[in-house]
A and B are shown apart, each in its own frame.
Chain A
Amino acid sequence: MSPGASNSLILRGYVVLVFIFVFTPIVTSFIFSVNSDRFPSIPLGHFTTHWYETIFADPDVWDAFRVSGIVSITVAVLATFIGFCTAYTDYRYNFTGKALYLSLALLPPTIPLVIMGLAMLALLARINMSGEIYSIVVSHVVLCSPFAMAVIRMRLAQINPDLESAAWNLGASNWRAMREVIIPFCRPAIASAFCLTAAVSFDEFAVAWFVSGLNKTVPVIILEILQGNTDPQINAIGSIVFITSMTLVVLAQLILMRKTINQTATGI
Chain B
Amino acid sequence: MSDPSPSRPLVTFDGVCKRYGNITAVHAMNLEIYEGEFLAIMGPSGCGKTTSLRMLAGLEEPSEGEIRLDGKRINEISSVERDTPMVWQSLALFPFLNVQKNVEFGLKMRQVPTEERQQRARKWLERMEILDLAERDISQLSGGQKQRVALARSLVTEPRILLLDEPLSALDANLVVRMQGVLSRLQKELGITFVYVTHSQSEAFAMSDRVVIMSQGRIEQLGSPKEIYRSPASRFVADFVGANNILSGTVSQAGEDLEIKTTLGAFRCHAGTSDPFAVGDALDMVISADLVQISLEDPNTQNSLRCRFISEEFVGSIVTLFAELEDGSDFKVQTRQRDLANLSLGEESSFFVSWNATDAHLIGAKE
Rounded to whole angstroms, the CA-CA distance of A180 and B86 in the bound complex is 18
Tell me which residues across on chain B come within 8 A of A41, comparing CB atoms: none
Within 8 A of B (CB), among A137-188: 160, 162-163, 165-173, 176, 180-181, 184-185, 187
In the assembled complex, the Cα of A163 lies from the Cα of B88 at a distance in Å of 9
Q: Is A262 an interface residue (CB 8 A)?
A: yes
Closest Cβ of chain B to A162, distance in Å, is: 4
B138 to chain A, nearest CB (A): 7
Query: Quick one: CB contact mask for B60-96 with A, threshold 8 Å, 1 for yes?
Result: 0000000000000000001111011110111111111
Q: Does B105 touch A at the CB level, under 8 Å?
A: yes
CB distance from A171 to the nearest CB of B (A): 4
Q: Known contacts A170-B85, A180-B105, A266-B138; is A163 also within 8 Å of B80 by CB?
A: no
Instruction: Tell me the chain A residues, 229-268 only, with Cβ under 8 Å from chain B.
Output: 262-263, 265-268
Whether B95 contacts A263 by the Cβ 8 Å rule is yes
Please determine whether A171 and B90 come into contact, CB atoms closer than 8 angstroms. no
Distance in angstroms between the alpha carbons of A170 and B57 in the assembled complex = 10
- The CA of A8 and the CA of B1, in the complex, are separated in Å by 64
The 9 A-B pairs of least Cβ separation, nearest first, read A267-B95, A171-B109, A162-B92, A166-B92, A170-B106, A266-B139, A184-B96, A168-B79, A263-B95
* Residues of B contacting A173 in the complex (Cβ-Cβ under 8 angstroms): 80
Known: A162-B92, A168-B80, A169-B85. A263 touches B105 (CB 8 A): no
Q: Is B157 an interface residue (CB 8 A)?
A: yes
A187 to chain B minimum Cβ distance, whole angstroms, is 7
Q: In the complex, are the beta carbons of A176 and B84 less than 8 A apart? A: no
Q: Is B190 an interface residue (CB 8 A)?
A: no
The 0/1 profile, CB within 8 Å of B marked 1, for residues 171-211 of chain A is 11100100011001101000000000000000000000000
> Among B91, B109, B138, B146, which residue has its beta carbon within 8 angstroms of that of A170?
B109
> Are the C-beta atoms of A171 and B110 separated by less than 8 Å?
yes
7 contacts between A and B (CB under 8 A): A168-B80, A169-B85, A170-B85, A171-B106, A263-B95, A265-B139, A268-B170
Contact A167 B93 (CB under 8 A): no
Given A171-B109, A171-B157 in contact, is the A166-B88 Cβ separation under 8 Å? yes
For A187, give the chain B residue with the smallest CB separation.
B96
**Would you call B94 and A181 a contact (CB within 8 A)?**
yes
Q: Is the CB of A163 within 8 A of B92?
A: yes
Interface size on B, residues (CB 8 A): 35
CB nearest neighbor in A for B83: A171
How far is B92's CA from A162's CA once the two chains are assembled, in angstroms?
6
Residues of chain B within 8 A of A263, CB atoms compared: 95-96, 139
CB distance from B143 to the nearest CB of A (A): 10
Closest A residue to B95 by beta carbon equals A267
Interface residue? B261 (CB, 8 A) = no
> How distant is the Cα of A181 from the Cα of B108 in the complex, in angstroms?
13
Q: Which residues of A contact B78 (CB under 8 A)?
A: 168
Q: Give the one of A160, A184, A185, A266 with max B CB within 10 A.
A: A266
A171 to B57 alpha-carbon distance, docked (Å)? 11
Residues of A contacting B108 in the complex (Cβ-Cβ under 8 angstroms) = 180
Extra contacts besides A169-B79, A268-B90 (7): CB < 8 Å: A160-B90, A167-B94, A170-B105, A170-B109, A170-B157, A171-B83, A266-B141
Contact partners of B278 in chain A: CB under 8 A: none
Q: Is B153 an interface residue (CB 8 A)?
A: yes
Residues of B within 8 A of A165 (CB): 59, 79, 88, 92
Complex CA distance for A267 and B90, rounded to whole angstroms: 10
How far is it, in angstroms, between the C-alpha of A175 and the C-alpha of B140 when the chains are bound?
29
Selected from A176, A185, A267, the residue in CB contact (under 8 A) with B138 is A267
Query: Contact at A170–B153, with CB atoms within 8 Å?
Result: yes
